[in-house]
Amino acid sequence: MQLRVDAELDALTRDLQLLSIDHKVLVCTSNRPFALALATSFALAHTRNPDQLLGICTRPDEALTLIAAVNQPVLAFVSEQLDDGSGLELVRQLKDRPAVAPVVSTVLTLASLDPVVLRRALHGPCDALLTQRGLHVALLVAALEAVIGGFRFVDPVASFVLREQLPDDHPQLTQREAEVLRLVCEGLTNREIGAQLHIAETTARGHVQSIIQKLHVRDRTAAAAEGVRRHLVD
């Protein structure tokens, strides 16, 4: 989304005026024109709250520093590509903050339509997932409405790509991987899995990583849930 046309900026500003956004707003992206356009729209839409904009940055460490300095909810717009870092990783760090810290709602925008990247983002903790390919004013506003209302939003373009690239509901797990997945579902650690199957802990860890890759999930907890969903375990 370029947001370079005056008409688009005006439309976004008008729509933002209709939304009740009490959050501080942070924009972290290497796309500087987009960052400036978005920040300008928020500033014009909420002139009575000139301090709403927390800041604009291009690096994850800058975003974390800015957010650590405030004591109220934050709405963070994060792009996939950052200077010296990854937007996906930044979203994870923002969501891993202590429970006592102010809530950070995240809107993640992806430049890539690679199904692997889309799945990783979808299985991640972002509150809204957008793509540059499908992004426009109406979609951005719809995402904000969903996030403010406590719902998750996924760009239809991302949904379409993932539907077209759905992984096999019966991934080819080896017999050993199936045994390991069953034990993961029972909550065993890699060491406990190794002891039960009489294999080294490092071997058990390798099987778990292979399972995670084959199921297209981000961690062992998600692998257990996906294994149950696909009836891969008894």
Q: Residue 206 maps to which CATH number?
A: 1.10.10.10
Q: Which whole number is the average pLDDT over 149-175?
A: 76
Give the chain's domain count. 2
Residue 179 belongs to what domain range?
175-229
Give the CA dihedral 108, 114, 160, 80, nearest 10 degrees: 10
- Please report which confidence band the pLDDT of residue 1 belongs to, taking 50, 70 and 90 as the band edges: very low
Q: Residue 119 maps to which CATH number?
A: 3.40.50.2300
What are the strands, taking DSSP E only, across the chain?
Answer: 24-28, 53-57, 74-79, 81-82, 85-86, 104-110, 128-131, 153-154
Q: Flag whether 169 is in a domain.
A: no
Q: Flag whether 103 is in a domain.
A: yes
CA distance 215 to 169: 9
Q: Flag whether 170 is in a domain.
A: no
pLDDT, tens digit, 9 for 90 and up, residues 188-226: 999 999 999 999 888 888 899 889 888 878 888 888 888
| Whether the Cβ atoms of residue 193 and residue 205 lie closer than 8 Å to each other | no
pLDDT tops 90 at residue 17: no
Of the chain, the end-to-end C-alpha distance in Å amounts to: 46
Whole-model pTM: value is 0.66
Among 145, 164, 183, where does a domain finish? 164
Q: Which whole number is the average pLDDT over 145-149?
A: 87
**Do 160 and 179 sit in the same domain of this protein?**
no
Cα angle at 20 between 14 and 25, to 5 degrees?
A: 85
**Do 199 and 147 sit in the same domain of this protein?**
no
pLDDT, tens digit, 9 for 90 and up, residues 52-83: 889 999 999 999 999 999 989 999 999 999 99
